[in-house]
Amino acid sequence: MTVALERTLDALGSHRVIEPAGALPQNAWKLDNTPVAHANEILCEVEMLCIDSASFKQISDACDGDAHRIAEHIKNNVSERGKQHNPVTGSGGMFVGSVLQVGEQLPKAIDLKIG
């Protein structure tokens, strides 16, 4: 069972926060990123991750500009934290992707389709 399923679903997504308790997802250290759309969530397939320039520069510098090391650094960060959130800069990014699943509560609130 995911951490999120053990908690009451929260409109702002705090049910996904693993640590620290009480944080919102954006500034949380670690999230439950289990790929299941709960009733108030959207499951997306990420096609591209767009990292902000300050974070990318910091990661690139830490990896001596090596593309393979940069990719591994980002993958490890996402694996450890459940999201792209650079612990050095405190910044994250945006993704480009498509909707795979829409939680059962959302069609009443927003006009969003799979695809």
Where do the structural domains in the chain lie, given as residue ranges?
A: 4-102
Q: What is the pLDDT of residue 111?
A: 82
The mean pLDDT of the chain is 91
Residue with the bigger pLDDT between 96 and 5: it is 96
Per-residue pLDDT, averaged over 82-105, amounts to 93
Q: How confident is the model at residue 1 (pLDDT cuts 50, 70, 90)?
A: very low
User: How many Å apart are CA 46 and CA 65, to the nearest integer?
Assistant: 24
Residue with the bigger pLDDT between 33 and 1: it is 33
53, 73, 89, 9 alpha-carbon torsion, rounded to 10°: 100
Per-residue pLDDT, averaged over 82-111, amounts to 90
